[in-house]
Structure 1
Amino acid sequence: MTTLETLPVAAPAVGKLTGRVAFVTGGTRGIGAAIAHSLANQGATVAVGYSRSSEGAERFVTGLRRITDRYGAAASSHCGNVGSAADCRRTIAEVIVIHGRIDILVNNAGITMDKTVAEMTEEDWHTVLAVNLSGAFFLSQAALAHMVERGTGRIVNVSSVVGETGNIGQANYAASKSGLFGLTKTLAKEAAFQLARSGKRSDDSIGITVNTVTPGLVTTDMTAAIPTKVLNALTGRIPVGRAGRPEEIARVVHFLAADASSYITGQVWSVNGGMDM
């Protein structure tokens, strides 16, 4: 009798993104690094954004090239402050100059400055909103102009379950991640409108889509600092009984980035083990 254990396991599909160029902000660590690897494994040329260690970024890109070289693709790193509109525009322009185009933008970069509402300063509020929400807007604004001109593109925003549920001590973070929902839906509508107005929309085109992924608790360097007792309490609230892995978020991102996902836009994809049920 055939059981689940005896069913043949299909090899993971690869090459879905051959010939595409992706830019992943915050792409050298955690979820961003997993996304960069996942896109590279699908054949894409991958540019990663970072804000701190140039040495660490180059080390990451060297490893990434071991994947992209197999597909005749490339990899690069781009330093910038996502909280700066000028840096957002500059890095988008850099990627286009170096690689000739941008097909996929993943707005993954994000920061936290956790304090209760009573203790939160103006700087705490504005800094988190600038990076997590305004940065996604300015990057998308620059990329979308390029995508409309070319007639195709994918934008994927990385939000958080906290944007859906809120969390004590994270008013700024929750507001920024929730704001991505409205930004996603508006960008999706405007992208479709601009593409139609440009005369480049057709039934056989992959078009331009904008979607959001909302991770729950995911095992990264950030969560490694959570005390075991607190982590156990958090995982106890997750129906599947564990934290997620960065590559599980990345799989949804590369699915949304694929040509075959052209009928999915303006949507919020929860990847949280049922945490929001």
Structure 2
Amino acid sequence: MANRLAGKVAVVTGSGRGIGRGIAMLMAEEGARVVVNDPFGDSDGTMVADKAAKEIRDAGGVAAANYDSVATMSGGEGIIGAAIKNFGRIDILVNTAGNFVRKATLDITESEFDALMSVHVKGVFACVKAALPHMVKQKSGRIINFTSRAAFVGASS
């Protein structure tokens, strides 16, 4: 493990798999204590956040799993609360949680659209709103927001 993030606490949403998982692993390799957030299980029923957090710990890092959904304000509070409860602070918030509807825009239903907005827009807002009071009190903090290619290129019809 390197030390560029030693002493820092990072929360990575949607980090049970995909790019979020990779970011969580790299932050841990750089010395950050990491909250791995993902509300979903794997095909074997194991929570993917548990698997990623265990992988970090097995490599010598420090990690805690969290299963709250970014799609609600209480979920955002729970995610940030996990950092405060487990590590006493939050220094870095990385929003990578995402979902995708594999349909042409004309075929997306209102409920599917609402689900997309709940994760991609409200999810970022919920976590930022929960993290900011802690970062302001600490007089430091970093927020990094990711999006997908779908933000720039719509689904084909």
TM-score clears 0.5: yes
Provide the residue aligned with 2:58 in structure 1: 66
Hey, what's the Cα distance between the residues in 1 that align with 2:55 and 2:30?
16
Question: Is there any run of 5+ residues in structure 2 with no aligned partner, and where?
Answer: none
Question: Is residue 17 of structure 1 aligned with residue 5 of structure 2?
Answer: yes
Provide the residue aligned with 1:116 in structure 2: 104
Deviation at 1:116, TM superposition (A): 2.0
Provide the residue aligned with 2:143 in structure 1: 155
Deviation at 1:169, TM superposition (A): 4.6
Hey, what's the Cα distance between the residues in 2 that align with 1:52 and 1:21?
23
Among 144, 153, 157, the alignment partner of 1:166 is 153
Provide the residue aligned with 1:139 in structure 2: 127
SS in structure 2 at match of 1:76: strand
Deviation per residue, 1:109-151 (Å, 9 max, x gap):
0000122232211101110011011100110111011100110
Question: Is there any run of 5+ residues in structure 1 with no aligned partner, and where?
Answer: 1-12, 171-277
Identity of aligned residues (%): 33
Deviation per residue, 1:214-266 (Å, 9 max, x gap):
xxxxxxxxxxxxxxxxxxxxxxxxxxxxxxxxxxxxxxxxxxxxxxxxxxxxx
Hey, what's the Cα distance between the residues in 2 that align with 1:135 and 1:115?
22
Structure whose alpha-carbon radius of gyration is higher: 1
Question: Is residue 56 of structure 1 aligned with residue 48 of structure 2?
Answer: yes
Partner AA of 2:115 in structure 1: T
Hey, what's the Cα distance between the residues in 2 that align with 1:113 and 1:98?
34
Q: How many residues align?
A: 153
Question: Is residue 129 of structure 1 aligned with residue 121 of structure 2?
Answer: no
Does 54-63 or 143-152 show the bigger shift? 54-63
Provide the residue aligned with 1:33 in structure 2: 21
Asked which structure has the greater RCO (Cα within 8 Å, sep 6+), the reply is 2
Partner AA of 2:50 in structure 1: E
Hey, what's the Cα distance between the residues in 2 that align with 1:78 and 1:52?
10
Hey, what's the Cα distance between the residues in 1 that align with 2:36 and 2:47?
13
Deviation per residue, 1:50-103 (Å, 9 max, x gap):
11125433232111112344xxxx210000111111111122112211110000
Equivalent residues of 1:68, 1:75 under 8 A apart? no
